[in-house]
Structures are given as C-alpha cells and as structure tokens.
C-alpha cells in the first residue's frame, strides 16, 4: 500500500522540496496516529504522504482562486488511480482551510497541525552550521514559535491547534522532531 502511494508521489510531484515535505508529514502523521488512533495509523501515514499530491498542478501560491481546489484535486487524482478511502480523502481535504472543508475528526485536526510544523522544523535545522535535524532541540522549536518574523509563513495557530487534541505543544514538537529525525537521510537534513 505504501509502495503504491510512494509511486503516486513520484508520479505527480516534481518538486524535490514537495516530495521531501510529503515524507516529513507522513512521518509526523504516523507518529501522531500511533499515539491517537493506533488501529488507523497506516491511514494517518498515507494521508500525510499524499496530502499535497496536487501541489505541482495548481499555482495556488500566485493564484488565490486555485487554492480553493487544493486537496479537492488530490482526491480526484486518487479516485482516478483507484487509491485510498473516504477516511483518507476527508483528512486530505481538511488540511486546507481554503477549500471550505471543516475539520471534524481527530485526523483532520492532526494533519492541519502536522503540515506546517515540518517546514518550521526544517527552517530551524537550516539555521545550524551543520544544517542537521540532530542539532535541533525541542527548546529551539518552542522558542522560535514566539519569534514571529522567523519562518513567518509557518502558521503558528495551526501548529498550536494540536492542543485541541489534548497534546501540549512541546510534546507535539518533540514527537514531530523525533519523527523527522527518523528519516533524516531521506530529508537530507
Ligand atoms: Fe503540505
């Protein structure tokens, strides 16, 4: 199942950074799933891996109208490929507020927070001379959260919303950091 999903990532995503981002969100979602819904953690990981599948087809960064399609288009691609299930589709749609999907289930809320924290942790790693995830500490993550000019694009409210699921932010930071450190070779960090 995962092998097939990796094939789809490589088929539809061409940007190196988006492919790495997909693996990072997969790792964080897998860890969150193991904690919150262990019986469904494979689906959690797949939702993370596939959540940005349409990103190289949409120019939603420059064209705000297209941001309404981000997520919706991914479901179309997955259905055409005969891959996934409604549980995964709903989470993928819910990670993007702009398409009007409400975050209802636990996985919806988790992916909304997991998406931005991967880029945020990457940005923190890149500050260190060795640019390695092994140099990052939980403390540096919680500190950088308050420096709003640092990685300004990383949505603090979205990351902090993990607390709605009963996970304190520092714990989420640690879980995410460890998940990303576990695939540091793939991430090149
Ligand atoms: Fe993403």
How far apart are the CA of 71 and the centre of ligand 1, in A? 10
How far apart are the CA of 55 and the centre of ligand 1, in A? 9
How far apart are the CA of 32 and the centre of ligand 1, in A? 16
How far apart are the CA of 38 and the centre of ligand 1, in A? 22
Do 119 and 51 form a contact (C-beta atoms < 8 A)?
no
In the predicted structure, residue 183 carries a pLDDT above the cut 80: yes
How far apart are the CA of 121 and the centre of ligand 1, in A? 13
How far apart are the CA of 52 and the centre of ligand 1, in A? 5
DSSP codes of every residue in 141-158: HHHHHH-TTTTTTS-HHH
How far apart are the CA of 24 and the centre of ligand 1, in A? 9
List phi, psi (to 5°) of 143. -70, -45
How far apart are the CA of 132 and the centre of ligand 1, in A? 21
In the predicted structure, residue 60 carries a pLDDT above the cut 80: no
How far apart are the CA of 26 and the centre of ligand 1, in A? 10
Helix axes 72-81, 86-94, angle to 10 degrees: 160
How far apart are the CA of 111 and the centre of ligand 1, in A? 9
How far apart are the CA of 61 and the centre of ligand 1, in A? 12
How far apart are the CA of 17 and the centre of ligand 1, in A? 10
What domains are there in the chain, each with its CATH number?
A: 2-187 (1.10.3210)
How far apart are the CA of 20 and the centre of ligand 1, in A? 10
Q: Determine if the pTM surpasses 0.85.
A: yes
pLDDT in tens, 120-174: 999 999 999 999 999 999 999 999 999 999 999 999 999 999 999 999 999 999 9
> Tokens at residue 107, please?
């996985």
> Tokens at residue 80, please?
């055409």
pLDDT at 61: 73
pLDDT in tens, 12-58: 999 999 999 999 999 999 999 999 999 999 999 999 999 999 999 99
For the CA atoms of 108, 113, 116, 117, the dihedral, rounded to the nearest 10 degrees, stands at -140
């Amino acid at each position: 199942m995962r092998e097939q999903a990796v094939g789809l990532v490589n088929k539809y995503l061409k940007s190196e950074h988006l492919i790495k981002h997909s693996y990072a969100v997969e790792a964080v979602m897998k860890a969150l799933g193991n904690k919150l819904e262990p019986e469904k953690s494979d689906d959690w990981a797949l939702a993370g891996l596939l959540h940005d599948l349409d990103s190289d087809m949409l120019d939603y960064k420059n064209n705000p109208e297209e941001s309404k399609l981000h997520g919706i288009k991914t479901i179309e691609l997955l259905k055409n490929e005969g891959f996934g299930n409604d549980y995964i589709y709903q989470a993928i749609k819910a990670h993007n507020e702009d398409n009007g999907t409400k975050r209802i289930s636990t996985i919806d809320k988790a992916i909304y927070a997991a998406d931005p924290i991967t880029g945020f942790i990457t940005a923190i790693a890149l500050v260190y001379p060795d640019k390695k995830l092994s140099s990052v500490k939980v403390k540096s993550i919680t500190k950088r959260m308050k420096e709003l000019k640092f990685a300004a694009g990383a949505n603090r409210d979205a990351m902090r919303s993990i607390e709605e699921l009963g996970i304190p932010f520092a714990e989420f930071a640690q879980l995410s950091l460890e998940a990303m450190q576990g695939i540091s070779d793939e991430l090149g960090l």
